Amino acid sequence: MTQATDMMDWDAVRPLSPHEFEEIRKLAYRTFGLDLKSGKEELVSARLRKLVRGGGFRSFQDYYRHIVEDKTGEALAGMIDALATNHTAFLREPDHFRFFRAQILPQLADREAVEVWSAACSTGEEVWTLACLLNEALPGRKIRIMATDISHKALRFASAACYPRERCGDLPAAWLSRYFVAEGRPPQSYRVMAALRAQVQFQRINLVERLPWPHRFPVVFCRNVMIYFDCATQERVVQQLAEHLEPGGYLFVGHAESLTRVSHGLEYVQPAVYRNPSKRERPWTR
């Protein structure tokens, strides 16, 4: 195919109109809580255009209609994967992991089994950071990490657990040698060792829907996802997360996020860390 023909195919997709943006915006908000405010038209157009062209649609309207009419849900999942932001890193927001290591892990040391939940795990760096910390601090314990995300694409990457060398630069050398297997000579990537991978269960979860289990955790990480929700959705999500915290359990949110504008029964511990009071304690209210 010539470059000129390629450009003609590209131009065959009509630009995103205000009406089409509004339809996609409402669909994203209704199905997974993403709050696409005015000004995000260019971002939506850029992220979805490949799917529009790849599906042979001439307009975003045709693409939108296809999503709505697709009974399998695959088209909607593809749109979610394209619009969801999956930026993360190992040991991201290190204050959280210092607090987790110093304050929480000693409280869990007398348990035979320790379970934590990474509620918006993205491409998995948070999950494997937690796995390294847990195995380092609590050797011999049964460790289980529930790792969930709305993006099929992110979950596939996270469960593969193989990361390019440049994404592993912030990992301690001791962790790389103990918990990862180098691939290539010199190493081009690092794969999480099988023993740690066996401790993690990945599952697709939409946080704006009712959660499919009654389980409670001593620790829940749900970081840097609520910044994409409006206040009403944040409140609904936080209340659901609180329901899945043990009495005395901890919720971590992103440092760019705050729960001061939403109603919840959690107590403030330090920036971006909240705790579910035990039954003997008075709930924190704003």
pLDDT in tens, the chain (286 residues): 444 344 434 457 899 999 999 999 999 999 999 999 999 999 999 999 999 999 999 999 999 999 999 999 999 999 998 998 777 999 999 999 999 999 999 999 999 999 999 999 999 999 999 999 999 999 999 999 999 999 999 999 999 999 999 999 999 999 999 999 999 989 999 999 999 999 999 999 999 999 888 899 999 999 999 999 999 999 999 999 999 999 999 999 999 998 988 999 999 999 999 999 976 544 433 3
Q: Using alpha carbons only, how large is the chain's radius of gyration in Å?
A: 21
124 with 256, same domain? yes
Chain center to CA of 18: 29
Helix axes 18-32, 60-69, angle to 10 degrees: 30
Instruction: Find the catalytic residue in 14, 47, 144, 236.
Output: 47
* Residue that terminates a domain, selected from 59, 83, 107: 83
**What distance in Å separates the CA atoms of residue 136 and residue 55, rounded to the nearest whole number?**
47
**Which token pair is 97?**
């992991």
* pLDDT for position 84: 83
280 is catalytic: no
- Strands, sheet with 189-192, edge to edge from the N-terminal-most edge strand: 162-164, 189-192, 180-183
* pLDDT for position 11: 53
* Residue that terminates a domain, selected from 83, 115, 130: 83
Range 128-134 contact pairs with CB under 8 angstroms and sequence separation of 24 or more: 128/90, 128/161, 128/179, 128/192, 128/196, 129/90, 129/91, 129/92, 129/97, 130/100, 130/221, 131/179, 131/192, 131/196, 131/199, 131/200, 132/175, 132/179, 132/196, 133/97, 133/100, 133/101, 133/105, 134/105
* Residue that terminates a domain, selected from 48, 83, 118: 83
128 with 22, same domain? no
* pLDDT for position 94: 96
Identify whether 74 is part of a domain. yes
What one-letter code names the amino acid at 280?
A: R
* pLDDT for position 50: 92
Residue of 83, 3, 6 lying closest to 45 (CA atoms): 83
Which domain, by its residues, includes 17?
Answer: 3-83
Q: Are 215 and 167 in contact (CB under 8 A)?
A: no
**What distance in Å separates the CA atoms of residue 101 and residue 230, rounded to the nearest whole number?**
32
120 with 70, same domain? no
Identify whether 25 is part of a domain. yes
210 is catalytic: no
122 with 255, same domain? yes
Instruction: Find the catalytic residue in 25, 92, 149, 223.
Output: 149
Identify whether 192 is part of a domain. yes
* pLDDT for position 8: 39
Identify whether 41 is part of a domain. yes
* CA 131 vs CA 117, 147, 195, 234, 265: distances in Å: 11, 11, 10, 27, 28
**Which token pair is 81?**
């994967």
159 with 267, same domain? yes
Could you tell me the CATH number of the domain that includes residue 62?
A: 1.10.155.10
Q: Which helix (H) or strand (E) holds 32?
A: helix 18-32
- Residue 78: phi, psi to the nearest 5? -65, -40
24 with 50, same domain? yes
Pinpoint the alpha helices (H) of 70-193: 74-83, 94-99, 105-108, 125-137, 152-160, 173-179
* pLDDT for position 201: 98
Identify whether 281 is part of a domain. no
How many structural domains comprise the chain? 2
